Chain A
Amino acid sequence: MTQLVVQSVVKRFGKQTVLNAFDLEVAKGEFVALLGPSGCGKSTLLRIIAGLETPSSGDIVINGRVVTGLPPEMRNIALMFQSYALLPHLSVLENVRFPLRMRSQASRAEQERRAHDALALVQLDQFTERYPRQLSGGQQQRVALARSIVAEPDLLLLDEPLSNLDARLREDMQIELKRLHETLGLTTIFVTHDQDEALALADTVILMNGGRVEQRGAPEELYGQPRTEFAADFLGGANILELEVVRRGDVLMGLFPEGSEVELQKSDGLEPGARKFMLRKEAISLAPDTEMATLAASIETQNYLGSQTRSLVRAGGLALVAVTDPVSAKSKARDLRIGWRPKDLIPLTS
Chain B
Amino acid sequence: MTAATPGFVKLLSITFVLAIAVYMLVPLIVVIASSLSTSQFLVFPPPGFSLRWYTEVFNSDAYLSAGWTSLKLALFTVAASVALGTPAAIALSRFRFPGRSFLSAIFLSPLLLPSLIFAIGLLIVFSRYGDGPSLTGLVIGHTVITLPYVIRTVSANLIDMDPHLDEAARIMGARWWQRYLLVILPQCRTGMAAGAFFAFNISFDDAVIALFMRAPNVETLPMRIYSTLEFSPDPSVAAVSTIMILLTIFMVLLLDRIFGLSKIA
Binding site for B on A (CB under 8 A): 51-54, 71-72
B106 within 8 A of A: no
Q: How far is the CA of A54 from the CA of B3 in the complex (A)?
A: 6
- Segment 1-52 of B: residues with Cβ below 8 Å from A: 1, 3-4, 6
Q: How far is the CA of A53 from the CA of B4 in the complex (A)?
A: 7
- What residues on A are CB-neighbors of B1 within 8 Å? 52
- What residues on B are CB-neighbors of A72 within 8 Å? 4
- What residues on A are CB-neighbors of B3 within 8 Å? 51-54
Q: Give 10 pairs: A residue, B residue, CB < 8 Å, sorted on A.
A: A51-B3, A51-B4, A52-B1, A52-B3, A52-B4, A53-B3, A54-B3, A71-B4, A71-B6, A72-B4
- What residues on A are CB-neighbors of B4 within 8 Å? 51-52, 71-72
- What residues on B are CB-neighbors of A54 within 8 Å? 3
Residue of A nearest to B1 (CB): A52
- What residues on B are CB-neighbors of A52 within 8 Å? 1, 3-4
Q: How far is the CA of A49 from the CA of B4 in the complex (A)?
A: 12
Q: How far is the CA of A72 from the CA of B1 in the complex (A)?
A: 11
The 7 A-B pairs with the shortest beta carbon distances in the complex, nearest first, are A54-B3, A53-B3, A71-B4, A72-B4, A52-B4, A52-B3, A51-B4
Residue of A nearest to B5 (CB): A71
Q: A195 to chain B: closest CB distance in Å?
A: 30
Q: A117 to chain B: closest CB distance in Å?
A: 29
Binding site for A on B (CB under 8 A): 1, 3-4, 6
- What residues on A are CB-neighbors of B6 within 8 Å? 71
Q: A11 to chain B: closest CB distance in Å?
A: 10
Main secondary structure of the interface of A (DSSP, over half): loop
Q: How far is the CA of A52 from the CA of B4 in the complex (A)?
A: 6
- What residues on B are CB-neighbors of A53 within 8 Å? 3
Q: How far is the CA of A71 from the CA of B7 in the complex (A)?
A: 11
Q: A72 to chain B: closest CB distance in Å?
A: 6
Q: B10 to chain A: closest CB distance in Å?
A: 13
Q: How far is the CA of A51 from the CA of B1 in the complex (A)?
A: 9
Q: A340 to chain B: closest CB distance in Å?
A: 49
Q: B2 to chain A: closest CB distance in Å?
A: 9
Residue of B nearest to A71 (CB): B4
Q: How far is the CA of A72 from the CA of B3 in the complex (A)?
A: 9
Residue of B nearest to A47 (CB): B3
Q: How far is the CA of A176 from the CA of B163 in the complex (A)?
A: 41
Q: How far is the CA of A52 from the CA of B3 in the complex (A)?
A: 6
Q: B251 to chain A: closest CB distance in Å?
A: 33
Q: How far is the CA of A51 from the CA of B4 in the complex (A)?
A: 7
Q: B4 to chain A: closest CB distance in Å?
A: 5
Residue of B nearest to A48 (CB): B3
Residue of B nearest to A53 (CB): B3
Residue of A nearest to B6 (CB): A71
Q: How far is the CA of A25 from the CA of B83 in the complex (A)?
A: 67
Q: A334 to chain B: closest CB distance in Å?
A: 43
Q: How far is the CA of A54 from the CA of B1 in the complex (A)?
A: 10
Residue of B nearest to A51 (CB): B4
Q: How far is the CA of A54 from the CA of B4 in the complex (A)?
A: 8
Q: A71 to chain B: closest CB distance in Å?
A: 5
Q: How far is the CA of A149 from the CA of B81 in the complex (A)?
A: 57
Q: A14 to chain B: closest CB distance in Å?
A: 14
Most chain A Cβ neighbours within 10 Å, of B1, B3, B6: B3
Q: A54 to chain B: closest CB distance in Å?
A: 4
Known A71-B6, A72-B4; 8 more pairs at CB < 8 Å: A51-B3, A51-B4, A52-B1, A52-B3, A52-B4, A53-B3, A54-B3, A71-B4
Q: A259 to chain B: closest CB distance in Å?
A: 54
- What residues on B are CB-neighbors of A71 within 8 Å? 4, 6
Q: How far is the CA of A52 from the CA of B1 in the complex (A)?
A: 6
Q: How far is the CA of A71 from the CA of B8 in the complex (A)?
A: 14
Q: How far is the CA of A334 from the CA of B262 in the complex (A)?
A: 62
Q: How far is the CA of A299 from the CA of B227 in the complex (A)?
A: 92
Q: A51 to chain B: closest CB distance in Å?
A: 6
Q: How far is the CA of A13 from the CA of B240 in the complex (A)?
A: 47
Q: How far is the CA of A52 from the CA of B6 in the complex (A)?
A: 12
Residue of B nearest to A73 (CB): B4
Q: How far is the CA of A71 from the CA of B1 in the complex (A)?
A: 11
Q: A78 to chain B: closest CB distance in Å?
A: 16
Q: How far is the CA of A205 from the CA of B193 in the complex (A)?
A: 54
- What residues on B are CB-neighbors of A51 within 8 Å? 3-4
Q: A256 to chain B: closest CB distance in Å?
A: 49
Q: How far is the CA of A45 from the CA of B141 in the complex (A)?
A: 59
Q: How far is the CA of A203 from the CA of B3 in the complex (A)?
A: 31
Residue of B nearest to A72 (CB): B4
Q: B35 to chain A: closest CB distance in Å?
A: 42
Q: A92 to chain B: closest CB distance in Å?
A: 26
Q: A224 to chain B: closest CB distance in Å?
A: 39
Q: How far is the CA of A127 from the CA of B6 in the complex (A)?
A: 37
Q: How far is the CA of A72 from the CA of B5 in the complex (A)?
A: 10
Q: A85 to chain B: closest CB distance in Å?
A: 13
Q: B7 to chain A: closest CB distance in Å?
A: 11
Q: B134 to chain A: closest CB distance in Å?
A: 53
Q: A49 to chain B: closest CB distance in Å?
A: 12
Q: B253 to chain A: closest CB distance in Å?
A: 27
Q: B151 to chain A: closest CB distance in Å?
A: 29
Q: A299 to chain B: closest CB distance in Å?
A: 41
Q: A83 to chain B: closest CB distance in Å?
A: 15
Q: B114 to chain A: closest CB distance in Å?
A: 32
Q: How far is the CA of A54 from the CA of B2 in the complex (A)?
A: 9
